């Protein structure tokens, strides 16, 4: 990887008019660096701005303000066909009347490359996506996963600086999607091309990205490695959107945090980087696997529901007027049932304050 980022996005904003005469702010001063040779995932719910940013990078939309640099050169005013980026869409967008090889060759022919070089690049791309023997077939003769591989081969054959992927796996069934996730990671590693993937699937984002940028209403709420985003969410939205979290409201006073109906949270339960919260209302986030539950006739909680799912014991436990979700490994968990009195706490360093 080079020292500088492949993509540098600074203060990009984009608004769209509505049929009612109003305005929707799709992007609101978004800034993001994408490391060269990395796999970046743009994650968020529908309408959060992630696809709009991807389209601005591709040149399919023009930002109202801000700057997009590719390898140190500004591209937000450059025509789409002159940008060293390629896009793979959810719909594949293959030409049905062309063979697989002809689909891959199309962009290279538009670039007026020599026939021998086109043939070499087509063979190389087919080998890369493991479709070497299917070059003579039409898209209609392929499965959905194979069609997606052809779309990838077509994009990679042009050797872009950045490959943009707009929810490319959402049309595939679960098993095929998991397989294609592994294929995408393999292709990114082997080519060292910078990948930028848009998805609303949290599992997909967390399993594939070197970094994940979480979008919330046109802004980036948090960006970082998947483990960091999961374990150290900065906002209530990120904690709630990534995986599952118990979000407990309370108050802070003189460095102590008290949760309504739960009582004071021991200092040992708070994350080290939470620091001393400012006095006033606070929101505490705790992952279910970090909620400790043990039988105790004089405990502070009551089991509302206990269910085995996937080998783990899933618990819903009431503590005062709060209901917490907890997860325990099935083999090591203590037998608990609805109505049992329990002692509820937090694993050391697992509870953290988040922005509301």
Over residues 148-172, the pLDDT tens digits come to 889 999 999 999 999 999 998 887 7
The set of long-range contacts for 95-99, using a CB threshold of 8 Å and a minimum separation of 24, is: 95/139, 96/138, 96/139, 96/140, 97/138, 98/138, 98/139, 99/135, 99/136, 99/137, 99/138
- For the chain, the structural domain boundaries read 5-231, 244-354
pLDDT classification of 218: cutoffs 50, 70, 90? very high
Same-fold call for 5-231 versus 244-354: no
Q: What's the gap between Cα 139 and its chain centre?
A: 29
CATH superfamily of 244-354: Nucleic acid-binding proteins (2.40.50.140)
260 has a pLDDT exceeding 80: no
Q: Quick one: pLDDT at residue 93? A: 84
Fold of 5-231: Rossmann fold (3.40.50)
What's the CA dihedral at 208, 209, 213, 215 to 10 degrees? -10
Q: Is the pLDDT of residue 222 over 90?
A: yes
Name which of 277, 298, 283, 275 is nearest 344 in CA terms: 298
* Residue-wise pLDDT tens digits, 263-279: 888 778 888 776 566 78
Q: What pairs with residue 305 in β-bridges?
A: 316
pLDDT, residue 1, reads: 41
Question: The sheet that has 73-74: what strands, in order across it?
Answer: 23-35, 5-17, 65-70, 73-74
Average pLDDT across the chain, whole number: 91
| Percent of the chain whose predicted confidence (pLDDT) is above 70 | 97
pLDDT band at 76 (very low <50, low <70, confident <90, very high): very high
pLDDT of residue 74: 96
Question: What three-state secondary structure class fits 164?
Answer: strand
């Amino acid at each position: 990887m080079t020292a500088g980022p492949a993509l540098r996005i600074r203060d990009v904003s984009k608004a769209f008019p509505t049929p009612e005469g109003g305005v929707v702010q799709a992007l609101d001063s978004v800034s993001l660096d994408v490391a060269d040779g990395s796999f970046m995932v743009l994650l968020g719910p529908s309408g959060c701005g992630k696809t709009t940013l991807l389209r601005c990078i591709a040149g399919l939309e023009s930002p109202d303000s801000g700057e997009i640099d590719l390898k140190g050169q500004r591209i937000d005013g450059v025509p789409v066909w002159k940008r060293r980026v390629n896009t793979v869409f959810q719909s594949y967008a293959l030409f049905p009347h062309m063979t697989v090889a002809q689909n891959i060759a199309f962009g290279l022919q538009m670039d007026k490359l020599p026939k021998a070089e086109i043939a070499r690049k087509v063979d190389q791309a087919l080998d890369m996506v493991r479709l070497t023997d299917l070059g003579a077939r039409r898209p209609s003769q392929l499965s959905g996963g194979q069609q997606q591989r052809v779309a990838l081969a077509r994009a990679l054959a042009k050797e872009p600086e950045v490959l943009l992927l707009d929810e490319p796996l959402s049309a595939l069934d679960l098993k095929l999607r998991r397989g294609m996730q592994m294929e995408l990671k393999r292709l990114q590693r082997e080519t060292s091309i910078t990948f930028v993937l848009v998805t609303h699937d949290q599992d997909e984002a967390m399993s594939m990205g070197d970094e994940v940028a979480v979008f919330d209403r046109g802004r980036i709420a948090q960006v970082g490695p998947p483990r960091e985003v999961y374990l150290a969410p900065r906002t209530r939205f990120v904690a709630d959107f990534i995986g599952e979290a118990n979000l407990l409201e309370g108050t802070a006073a003189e460095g102590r945090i008290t949760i309504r109906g739960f009582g004071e949270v021991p200092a040992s339960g708070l994350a080290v980087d939470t620091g001393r919260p400012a006095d006033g209302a606070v929101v505490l986030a705790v992952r279910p696997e970090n909620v400790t539950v043990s039988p105790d006739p004089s405990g502070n909680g009551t089991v509302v529901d206990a269910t085995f799912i996937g080998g783990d014991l899933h618990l819903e436990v009431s503590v005062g007027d709060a209901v917490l979700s907890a997860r325990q490994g099935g083999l090591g968990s203590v037998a608990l049932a609805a109505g049992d009195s329990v002692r509820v706490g937090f694993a050391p360093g697992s509870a953290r304050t988040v922005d509301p």
